Structure 1
Amino acid sequence: MAMQSFLQYVGSSSLLCLAAGLFALLYFLTSSKKSVCSLPPGPRPLPLIGNLNVVDLKKPFQSLTELSKTYGNVFTVHFGPRKAVVLAGYETIKDALLNHAEEFGERAEIPIFRKMTQGNGIAFSHGELWKTMRRFTLSTLRDFGMGKRTLEIRILEEVNSLIKYFESYHGKPFDTKTILNSAVSNVICSILFGERFEYDDPVFLTLLELINQNAKLLGSPMVLLYNFYPYLGFLSGASKTVLQNISELNAFLQKLFQQHKEELNENDLTGFVDAFLVKQQQESKKPHTMFDNGNLMFSTLDLFAAGTETTSTTVRWGLLLMMKYPEIQRKIQEEMNRVIEPGELPKLEDRKKMPYTEAVIHEIQRFANIVPMGVSRSTPRDVNFRGYVIPKGTEIIPLLTSALNDELHWKTPDQFNPSHFLDANGNFIRREAFIPFSVGRRACLGEGLAKMELFLFFGGLLRKFVFHPPPGVDKSDLDLTADVGFTLNPMPHLVCAVPCE
């Protein structure tokens, strides 16, 4: 099946095969001079394609999970001429990313992301630049409310706007994707720009569509092939679309930046962009400042995209699962009725009194598994790890799905089961193998914001509505298969949001 998947995407292009052959031949000639005896084991790579004959490009995380059953929790895989070491299972991932944080702390050089960002921003930068951007970003996000009551109030205002939108359908079926993207994105927009957008703003909707397209395409087989054979990019229409979308996003942001420059008041900063512009002015005379326009652009874009896609996708999974398992939805609402005053929405201070709701939200994240392969790391030097020597510059894939489905840590990993996060007395318990945000130096810096948003958005919606499948659709017909991209989305579906009595 994996071989058929591979051939489906490259078999029709003799030019691709010929060029790939030339590059692969060069790779094998050069790599054969190096000792590979101390690398972790793995399937034997074939000329031209490496191990693409055993990797399903539509769902590579599933193929890597299967390979781990044969080769163990640390193994080598070749994506064409591109070599990677895969970390599988929670204990292995923790050992590498926490206990050997420095050795596995760099971001991998992924061609499509390098082409997009030129090494700027937070997510895909390296070394001192990454440290500087991350430190500034964390400090600035805290200044503008991260983890504070002021941000909670802002999120609750957005929840109320979202509730009014849901009410406008009067219980009739509708698709939640665009509206949830808009609502969640407005939270990060208020932090970045000091403003929110109306849900029907055509420019805002275009920006969100560009982000959605890229999230889908970045995990597509053709973009993966571009990453394996970057010199053949002229053959990849998908990679060209990704880059064109980035150009359109950049053009919009440039206009916003110019507007903020013209209205900048150091005594009244509206958000992250203003804070960056002030820092840029302060360092304008430094010959090698890192606070340049490139880092302004891609730090903002990193936060904008990450603050939209993953959280809204998780909420969508949550609503789909509530329709699939109405008894779980009912238990959440019974808990809310006991804890929250009539007419009120859940607040962060209620979390400790709502262990079942907390357990369900955590289980949604575990089960949805929306970033199954994490974001690749890299070794900044030769690394000795578990008896193997991993060369400098090797791509490292932390297979997060293997931790979130690790049979050593989860009683029923293949099932949606909130009791994974409850003890015998119904109290919420934290599980160390719960790492949807990854761990270590490159863990998601928006984890705190995402947790706030998930509780307030998901809790607020279930406080106001009971979610049902559309008329004529039985809960057993609801499809929990993931629509694969860079993140795992639910398949397209409609919901009916019926106001609670």
Structure 2
Amino acid sequence: MLMLAEVLLAFLLSLLILRFLKLRWAGRRLPPGPTPLPIIGNLWTLSFRLHHETLIQLAKIYGNIFTVWAGETPLIVFSGCKAVKDALISHGQEFSGRPITPFVNQFTQGKGIVASNGHGWRQQRCFGQMFLRRLGLQQEMGLEWQIQEEARHLLESFTSRRGRSLDPSVPIRHAVSNVTGALVFGRRFSSEDRNFQHLLKAINFVVSFNGTHWGRLFDTFPRLMRRVPGPHQEVFVYVEYVRSYVKQEIRSHLENPSDEPKDLTDFYLAQISKTKDDPNSTYDESNMIQLVIDFLLASSDTISTTLHWAVLYMVVYPAVQEEVQKELDAVLIPSQIVCYEDRKRLPYTNAVIHEIQRYANIASVGLARQCTKDTSIRGFLITKGTIIIPNLSSVLFDPEHWETPQQFNPSHFLDEGGNFVTNNAFLPFSAGHRVCLGEQMARIEIFILFASLLRAFTFQLPEGVTEINKDYIYGTVIQPHPYEICAIPRWTILHRRP
């Protein structure tokens, strides 16, 4: 019995040594990086997640292009503004693929925009661009009009609290999701609509799951994890709910067709009909469902999280909040509805919004890319199929491009004359062929909602609360810890001034 145990131990040890040597051989031409262990690679070093701060520290050791191993899969990490822009822009075509992880594949089946490749991805993205462009050109019921209408409802929601403490994430998420809901379904949803609220809960759970330890474990050991109980089983229940919800909305559109397309569902149904005889068309119901889900997941969570951080920073930095309000009061007349064009006359407000996006850093590492053909970059040969990780945090906090990268400083976007200036290292929406499709929509929505809120309210801590947690919750999207604030109507504050 003892001899059998020794033989088994020797066999396992030999197997581990062979796998270790295999990893070393596979990585001989890859960029440098920490030594991987058999089976788990560098997951132990990475604490089973691709944390942006850990990757920044590794870049200091191994350089701005280095390799980490997720299990026995190599990931090439690009760090710092120059390296990331070289990868995403100079080699944008070569790094335009999207790796399909086991979780994402089970969720999307390679459909839609976010997690698709090749001809299907190009057609779906082209449609998405066309839809947003046409919507942006509409003056009435168009994108900006929808956002302004939702801003009005958001202000009413805050006003109803009469200065009492509240969790701002709830009305903000509802408002942002309603903008997206109006774009894809053609109508807004009441805060009392339980089905819509359950949809938001499901979307939040799905987005959050992919950045958890369970999500990483599922992608690393999919066959095993499918048989193990845990929240990864629950997430697919939520996925199915979102899919069923979208299918029901599509059926409603088919049963009640409109004379003129007014939302994404209408436009896509028309596109399916238009291209039904084209053998190369990928416009079908399965792609349509996933495209709608992509819009719901991508825009609702990222925009609402940015605004959630925005309110927190205004509480933490009251002098910044006051300066924004002074500018808004000086430039906009009281009855004026905030328009995106107003940003040109509000340089400080615009700078604060950009600094919120930089400092909040909600995209963190950024979505992975995949090399579509053998490519040489900075002396390294990156073979087709290799996964690329652009560490966006290393760009947004690159000390070579930001005067005070670790501080919240709106002056990063202002010149000496107080005029707004751009910064080449501002890449919160990523860059290149896979740049965020909804970038312009996000810019408009964040500006209008933020400016509208700051005109109407001053945000401060509830009575008896002396500080707010500025740390973050790490996940697919970087979230602030739950907090409560008081939204004080500004007419009250102005009335009290001597």
Q: Normalization by structure 1: what TM-score?
A: 0.91
Select the residue among 57, 63, 81 that pairs with 1:90: 81
Query: Counterpart of 1:497 in structure 2: which amino acid?
Result: A
What CA distance in whole angstroms lies between the structure 1 residues aligned with 2:23 and 2:160? 65
What CA distance in whole angstroms lies between the structure 1 residues aligned with 2:478 and 2:125? 26
How many Å apart are 1:287 and its aligned residue?
A: 4.8
What CA distance in whole angstroms lies between the structure 2 residues aligned with 1:33 and 1:301? 41
Select the residue among 124, 135, 139 that pairs with 2:126: 135
Paired residues for 1:6-405 under 5 Å: 28=19, 31=22, 35-57=26-48, 60-145=51-136, 150-234=142-226, 235=228, 237-265=230-258, 267-287=259-279, 289-405=281-397
Evaluate the alpha carbon distance shift between residue 29 and residue 147 of structure 1 in structure 2; reply closer, same or farther with a 3 A threshold. farther
Select the residue among 468, 471, 474 that pairs with 1:481: 471
What CA distance in whole angstroms lies between the structure 2 residues aligned with 1:287 and 1:242? 35
What's the C-alpha RMSD, in Å, of the aligned pairs?
Answer: 2.1
What CA distance in whole angstroms lies between the structure 2 residues aligned with 1:32 and 1:201? 53
Query: Counterpart of 2:389 in structure 1: which amino acid?
Result: I
Select the residue among 384, 409, 415 that pairs with 1:423: 415
What CA distance in whole angstroms lies between the structure 1 residues aligned with 2:45 and 2:338? 47
How many Å apart are 1:221 and its aligned residue?
A: 0.7
> SS at 1:144's partner residue?
helix
What CA distance in whole angstroms lies between the structure 1 residues aligned with 2:242 and 2:17? 37
> SS at 1:106's partner residue?
coil
Evaluate the alpha carbon distance shift between residue 404 and residue 146 of structure 1 in structure 2; reply closer, same or farther with a 3 A threshold. farther
Query: Counterpart of 1:45 in structure 2: which amino acid?
Result: P
Contact 1:112 1:239 in 2 (8 A): no
What CA distance in whole angstroms lies between the structure 2 residues aligned with 1:59 and 1:99? 24
Evaluate the alpha carbon distance shift between residue 32 and residue 54 of structure 1 in structure 2; reply closer, same or farther with a 3 A threshold. closer
Query: Counterpart of 1:479 in structure 2: which amino acid?
Result: N
Evaluate the alpha carbon distance shift between residue 287 and residue 215 of structure 1 in structure 2; reply closer, same or farther with a 3 A threshold. same
What per-residue deviation string (whole Å, max 9, x for no partner) do you get for residues 67-122 of structure 1? 11101110000011221000101111111110111111111122211110000001
Query: Counterpart of 2:473 in structure 1: which amino acid?
Result: D
Paired residues for 1:400-479 under 5 Å: 400-474=392-466, 477-479=467-469
Which protein is bigger by CA-based radius of gyration? 2
What CA distance in whole angstroms lies between the structure 2 residues aligned with 1:27 and 1:332? 62
What CA distance in whole angstroms lies between the structure 1 residues aligned with 2:151 and 2:364? 28
**Aligned twin of 1:497:** 487
> SS at 1:256's partner residue?
helix
What CA distance in whole angstroms lies between the structure 1 residues aligned with 2:51 and 2:410? 27
How many Å apart are 1:244 and its aligned residue?
A: 1.6
What CA distance in whole angstroms lies between the structure 1 residues aligned with 2:479 and 2:468? 14
What CA distance in whole angstroms lies between the structure 1 residues aligned with 2:111 and 2:22? 30
> SS at 2:432's partner residue?
coil
Query: Counterpart of 1:143 in structure 2: which amino acid?
Result: R
Larger CA deviation: 398-407 vs 151-160: 151-160
What CA distance in whole angstroms lies between the structure 2 residues aligned with 1:462 and 1:300? 31
Query: Counterpart of 1:239 in structure 2: which amino acid?
Result: H
Q: Percent identity?
A: 38
What CA distance in whole angstroms lies between the structure 2 residues aligned with 1:334 and 1:167? 21
Contact 2:32 2:62 in 1 (8 A): yes
What CA distance in whole angstroms lies between the structure 2 residues aligned with 1:96 and 1:286? 35
Contact 1:120 1:295 in 2 (8 A): yes
> SS at 1:413's partner residue?
coil
Query: Counterpart of 1:75 in structure 2: which amino acid?
Result: F
What CA distance in whole angstroms lies between the structure 2 residues aligned with 1:188 and 1:148? 18
> SS at 1:302's partner residue?
helix
What CA distance in whole angstroms lies between the structure 2 residues aligned with 1:62 and 1:190? 37
How many Å apart are 1:354 and its aligned residue?
A: 0.6
How many Å apart are 1:239 and its aligned residue?
A: 2.3
Q: Normalization by structure 2: what TM-score?
A: 0.92
> SS at 1:485's partner residue?
coil
What per-residue deviation string (whole Å, max 9, x for no partner) do you get for residues 249-287 of structure 1? 01111111111111224x411211111111212333445
How many Å apart are 1:26 and its aligned residue?
A: 11
Q: How many residues align?
A: 478
Query: Counterpart of 1:372 in structure 2: which amino acid?
Result: S
What per-residue deviation string (whole Å, max 9, x for no partner) do you get for residues 343-367 of structure 1? 3343222111111000000000000
Evaluate the alpha carbon distance shift between residue 34 and residue 287 of structure 1 in structure 2; reply closer, same or farther with a 3 A threshold. farther
> SS at 2:381's partner residue?
strand
> SS at 1:54's partner residue?
coil
> SS at 1:279's partner residue?
helix
Structure 1: which 5+ runs fail to align?
1-17
Contact 1:158 1:187 in 2 (8 A): yes
**Aligned twin of 2:494:** none
Query: Counterpart of 2:189 in structure 1: which amino acid?
Result: F
What CA distance in whole angstroms lies between the structure 2 residues aligned with 1:465 and 1:37? 59
What per-residue deviation string (whole Å, max 9, x for no partner) do you get for residues 437-495 of structure 1? 00000000100000000110000000000000111112xx2111111221011100001
What CA distance in whole angstroms lies between the structure 2 residues aligned with 1:135 and 1:208? 27
Query: Counterpart of 2:240 in structure 1: which amino acid?
Result: S
How many Å apart are 1:59 and its aligned residue?
A: 6.4
Contact 1:121 1:130 in 2 (8 A): yes
How many Å apart are 1:27 and its aligned residue?
A: 9.7
**Aligned twin of 1:6:** none
What CA distance in whole angstroms lies between the structure 2 residues aligned with 1:40 and 1:138? 36
Contact 1:346 1:463 in 2 (8 A): no
Evaluate the alpha carbon distance shift between residue 445 and residue 143 of structure 1 in structure 2; reply closer, same or farther with a 3 A threshold. same
> SS at 1:109's partner residue?
coil
